[in-house]
Amino acid sequence: MKKLPKFFCEYCGTEVRQNDKVCPHCGRFFASVKCPSCGFAGDSRAFRSGCPVCGYAVNTEDAARQGETRHVRGTGQKKRGSATDPLPWWIYVLSLALLALVSALVVMNAR
């Protein structure tokens, strides 16, 4: 069975048609199509048979077996994290540094 590419909104994950310029669900504009496998970005016409660089495409049977294998349409920006993603490590370091600074100031003013 020939693998046909599927296209999904990078922002909300809704499946969209290949020629859509705007997501019908969230309203975000698509500047280009980005391959989730190799990162190549280009016009949607270049992806008619899958990624022109690495050949990545999604077969509906394969997608059902593999879960969330998708072609992503968007501007090439990094995806935003979900609400359940952990905070970046630098947030913890910054918080500890600020806590140490405030503690030192309190101790110095108490003398």
Tens digit of each residue's pLDDT (9 = 90 or more) over 45-99: 787 778 888 888 765 444 444 444 444 444 444 555 556 677 788 999 999 999 9
- Write out the two tokens for 62: 């394969």
- Write out the two tokens for 18: 């290949």
Pairing of the two strands 32-34 and 71-74 = antiparallel
- Tell me what the pLDDT averaged over the chain comes to: 75
Which among 14, 16, 78, 23 is positioned nearest to 47, based on CA atoms?
Answer: 16
Compute the average pLDDT of residues 18-41.
81
The band of 2, judged by pLDDT with boundaries at 50, 70 and 90, is: low
103: phi then psi, degrees, rounded to nearest 5: -60, -45
